[in-house]
Amino acid sequence: KQEVTQIPAALSVPEGENLVLNCSFTDSAIYNLQWFRQDPGKGLTSLLLIQSSQREQTSGRLNASLDKSSGRSTLYIAASQPGDSATYLCAVLPPQGGSEKLVFGKGTKLTVNP
Amino acid sequence: ETGVTQTPRHLVMGMTNKKSLKCEQHLGHNAMYWYKQSAKKPLELMFVYNFKEQTENNSVPSRFSPECPNSSHLFLHLHTLQPEDSALYLCASSQDRAGRNTIYFGEGSWLTVV
């Protein structure tokens, strides 16, 4: 059974710092991996999606990498801002099943201090 | 604004009450989902509807009853809930299941059972 782990559960950094969030998964057989952002009391917003054949994806100050063989992904945030404060969730989609079969981690709660 | 709207945003109900959560998507999607997010737990898939047909019930207790009258609307009817059912209930949609496309989430309905 696929399990997704995100460490640390919480992270606090000063504004301007570059940071890395970690995600690991137990079964390397995945279709894709997604990073989501969740603001307090709100829904999830998709940030980046990496197909299993890709190594990384970039969007603005965000860069996500995927190492399928080791079961790891990282989300790199450059020049962090207070507006980046949120919970970041990693999810993997298994090879079989529909779009909804995402397996989520518990998330990393990021606080960027002004 | 993701195109998926949930109402109400907050709901407090007693264990003997009957209430409903509503979800509407304006994206022209054919698949809709209910997820449950409890504190300190990963997101849990509850129900899947594809082209208005329920294709999955993820071992959800019968006190939760979904309804999908058309591809744009999804309801979750609640009755005789327990305090442990208090959680954030997230609705989501995607173009369809088979395409394994990105899922778009609503902002959620916070449910408190007293």
- A34-43, A92-101, B96-105: which has the minimum mean pLDDT? B96-105
Q: How far is A47 from chain B (nearest CA, A)?
A: 10
Distances (CA, A) of A88 to A40, A77, B15, B57, B95: 11, 11, 33, 27, 24
Structure tokens belonging to residue B67: 């309804």
**Surface of B (18-77) touching A: CB under 8 A:** 31, 33, 40-43, 45, 48, 50, 55-56
Q: Search chain A and give the residue with CA nearest B50.
A: A98
**DSSP string computed for B9-76:** SEEEE-TT-EEEEEEEE-S--SEEEEEEE-TTS--EEEEEEETTEEEEE-S--TTEEEEEEETTEEEE
Q: Say which amino acid occupies A13.
A: V
Task: Specify the 3-state DSSP secondary structure of A41.
Answer: coil
The answer to whether the CB of A76 falls within 8 A of the CB of A88 is no
Distances (CA, A) of B2 to A32, B18, B34, B91, B106: 21, 28, 16, 11, 7
At residue A109, the pLDDT reads 96
List, in sequence order, every beta strand (DSSP E) within A4-69. Answer: 4-7, 10-14, 19-25, 32-38, 44-51, 56-59, 62-67
Mean of pLDDT values over B19-38: 95
At residue A88, the pLDDT reads 98
- Would you call A100 and B100 a contact, using CB atoms and an 8 Å cutoff? no
At residue B99 the predicted structure's pLDDT band, cuts being 50, 70 and 90, is low
pLDDT tens digits for range B51-89? 888 887 778 999 999 999 999 999 999 999 999 999 999
At residue B1, the pLDDT reads 67
Q: What is the mean pLDDT of chain B?
A: 91
- Would you call A100 and B31 a contact, using CB atoms and an 8 Å cutoff? yes
pLDDT tens digits for range A49-89? 999 999 999 999 999 999 999 999 999 999 999 999 999 99
CA distance A109 to A10: 4
The answer to whether the CB of B58 falls within 8 A of the CB of B47 is yes
Q: Which of B91, B100, B107 to mutate to test the interface with A (most CBs of A within 10 A)?
A: B100
Distances (CA, A) of B49 to A84, A96, B55, B65, B88: 33, 17, 6, 13, 19
CB of A96 less than 8 A from some CB of B:
no
